A and B are shown apart, each in its own frame.
Chain A
């Protein structure tokens, strides 16, 4: 048994780093309720800056270290706090998406800032070894890391047990609303936690990079290991997070003792994900989210479902389909091929719209189903694709039980924990299932033929393109039919209030399982086409990273709209098209920023753009060039019943508008003399407040609010009102 000791020592080292990361994640979750998916990305960013200081600019090591840990990391923590704090009251879904968007931001931004190549980074501790007993050698770096982490853990424990900060932090966890009433400064507690957590992340990056190599993706992945110990402490217990991190490191390392290759090696790599998945399912309903008891105020534009009339829908849908069929006249060859990829992507995105946008079940595993479809097509489509349709249907059938498996955790978990469970599932598929040669052909991959359906070959670029248009149209029509049916309403009942849904006869168990299974089946069906597009597919085409990108693109496009899926496909295509590298390299970071800014809007950028377009158009009509007094102009707008109603929607807006009305009522009369004083002033107030209130809901929306303010014009009371209301609304969710 003595030969286990070296693995044990290595395990204590990696365990220490996992423990550090787990504690960092738990610390901010307890105080802010935000689970930091971007934790690994922060660690990675700090490690890159450390390399830049020390090796890039040749600063002394200790100065570089102090700069990273005392300046860079705290600044990141400070900025994170500013960014996440307004999200305390909003839905978990939005928090998750913003956090994932920030992860994507770092993944895209670091290569832009530092260049993408892998770097070697030196350990801050000496790596020379000393002997313990006869066979065991321990490096000073390992010992120092272990001790440093233990000291930090102990220090954190003391800080939380025996100081005012600790007491305040515990009060915030127990009941953040009550803590606020009792004079605990939740804001300060949150900021301190974010800074400490961020410094821990910096240490994690600097400690891990020497052994892992400094790369954009490696650190991010390794830090995902730390999610399991964090969940072991149910995201609130620091001692359990520490113990879990150490335990995980040791177990994982000891597993290495037996498996340099083969099944045990696979399990060793996948062990932390397996632990995460199992922990989530076992804890189940005992996992509670740290939430504010105050129901978030949701603004009108965030709510808007924007369902088109049937006639408008048929017209616009028909036009899109016609345009797609006509496209080969303009585009040929590789470009048409890229658009084909976008069509398939849009079809896949539609399955996520159903799952996330309508049923409210966040999934980070959708591309695992796409992979099932692609590999099934590779196995069963036949040499010339003559069995393609059957292979695609078979893939869909196989995806049903797999979908049920992913759906199972959803019976006991929701929100954040469900997202984590689907993430663990995707990573398990990546590490245990897809690399198997009998599944995917291994890392060399397998070839997938272009389809031949009912004797017609779709091997050429143009014919395959047309086939994919048909696929997307079929998916789109099916989705639209579901959206407007009793089934769609049932999904949205579950999304908006599971409690009320079950009270009104909805069997949540069945509904969740069915939607996971069907969304999975549809994704697998589309996956067969995706495989045929690639011609050769390997596990690297269908990883967790792809699932993550899909979710972000769907959020950006609009997760509750069919058009949102189309936009996701379109965005995906732009990344493929031959555009200048100077522009192309900025696309991912633009997407990441876009996601963060529209996360709160369920219809994503589609609806936001449309709304801002109309708002801008309305404002343009009323620009100062016209002699019409501001109040009168607004009044004219108010006379339009539909607009008035839409404007007056949000509870927040009405509160703002009412209060403002009282304050400014008298002034309003003076200011609006020419508008007459026959009681129309009240109506005039609403649209102005509406515009600015809407502005409060997303950073981009602020533009619309700003325009509204300027439109109200030269120092009229209305402008003052707009400013007041915007301030109030902005505090809520900007």
Chain B
């Protein structure tokens, strides 16, 4: 098995009698953007929650840089370098954009809550704000931002913590085409920028975005991993096409109605 920066091994999650994840493996190697796709209810969000520590799995392990973090609570994983964004935006609505970033940095930096490393934190926030061109929004309250800008701020808030792994949960939902392509561009710049970190795991419904930015794609269906490989391979995998993708990735888009095949 290839050594990933973040790995899920044999992860199983049951909700009552329902098996949400059935012995799923996943590797996110350094410097790569890995896509995680599958129809609704396939277990993507569950796997995401297992990786970030919101749900404890019934079986299997989660490894970060080779360390078993399966039993670690969410906040400890955050400090160890797992950062994420949320499909349903979870900004600190009544803080300014600047304070959202600063608070996140303080959250993962030991001693910062006691007032240490103040200038270091402010410098880091300023750097990220500049690199993502958020200067105009810095004094706005996060809860007042339109979706597109809010998604960008969520990304900035994750980046500011200098994570080892970045988990992105449907970052393009609610964005228009222009915003999505801008997002893809930013993502390309961010991934692996520091010695192969952060590695990125991307859950996404927008197929063209996934195909464009991901080096590897893992496909889940009914809680099981049904395929894994580079985009071209996924594009032509009959199981994947059957399970999920349908006409959307057919070269001519001839076979199936694209709308009907993809769950909204």
* Contacts from A to B (Cβ < 8 Å): 295, 298, 300, 303-305, 485-487, 489-490, 492-493, 495-497, 499-508, 560, 602, 645, 649-651, 654
Contacts and interface: CB of A to CB of B under 8 A. Distances in A.
Given A490-B106, A504-B108, A303 B92 contact: no
Nearest to A498: B90
B146 interface: yes
Interface in B119-155: 140-141, 143-147
Given A305-B94, A490-B107, A503-B84, A298 B75 contact: no
A146 B88 CA distance: 48
Given A305-B141, A492-B95, A503-B74, A295 B113 contact: no
Given A496-B94, A504-B104, 13 more contacts: A486-B103, A486-B106, A486-B112, A489-B99, A489-B102, A492-B103, A495-B94, A496-B93, A499-B54, A504-B75, A507-B75, A650-B144, A651-B145
B73 interface: yes
Contact of A303 (B103, B106, B141, B157): B141
A602 B88 CA distance: 23
Given A496-B91, A496-B92, A496-B93, A502 B141 contact: no
Contacts of B141: 300, 303-305, 649
B14 to A, nearest CB: 17
B235 interface: no
Contact of B83 (A489, A493, A504): A504
Closest 10 CB pairs of A and B: A505-B107, A504-B107, A649-B144, A505-B108, A496-B92, A500-B90, A505-B78, A489-B103, A504-B104, A502-B74
Contacts of A486: 103, 106, 112-115
Interface residues of B, number: 40
B12 interface: no
Given A497-B92, A504-B83, A505-B107, A298 B143 contact: yes
B27 to A, nearest CB: 22
Nearest to B150: A651
Contacts of B70: none
A490 B103 contact: yes
B222 interface: no
A508 B74 CA distance: 10
A645 B79 CA distance: 35
29 contacts: A295-B89, A298-B93, A300-B141, A304-B141, A485-B115, A489-B95, A489-B102, A490-B107, A490-B113, A492-B95, A493-B92, A493-B103, A495-B94, A496-B95, A497-B93, A503-B74, A503-B75, A503-B90, A504-B83, A504-B157, A505-B75, A505-B104, A505-B107, A505-B161, A507-B73, A508-B75, A649-B140, A651-B145, A654-B146
B108 A502 contact: no
B224 interface: no
A493 B107 contact: yes
Contacts of B88: 295
B113 A500 contact: no
A503 B83 contact: yes
Contacts of B90: 497, 499-500, 503
Contacts of A501: 92, 107
A670 B39 CA distance: 51
Interface string B160-199: 0100000000000000000000000000000000000000
B128 to A, nearest CB: 14
A502 B78 contact: yes
Contact of A651 (B73, B74, B104, B144): B144
B7 interface: no
A490 B52 CA distance: 20
B237 to A, nearest CB: 33
B140 A645 contact: yes
B89 to A, nearest CB: 8
A503 B78 contact: yes
B141 to A, nearest CB: 5
B193 to A, nearest CB: 20
Contacts of A485: 115
A506 B94 contact: no
B6 to A, nearest CB: 15
A308 to B, nearest CB: 14
B257 to A, nearest CB: 22
Contacts of A649: 140-141, 144
Contact of B86 (A298, A304, A496, A499): A499
Instruction: Give the most central of A495, A496, A497, A504: most B CB within 10 Å.
Output: A504
Contacts of A487: 113
Contacts of B109: 505
Instruction: Give the most central of B75, B89, B113, B115: most A CB within 10 Å.
Output: B75
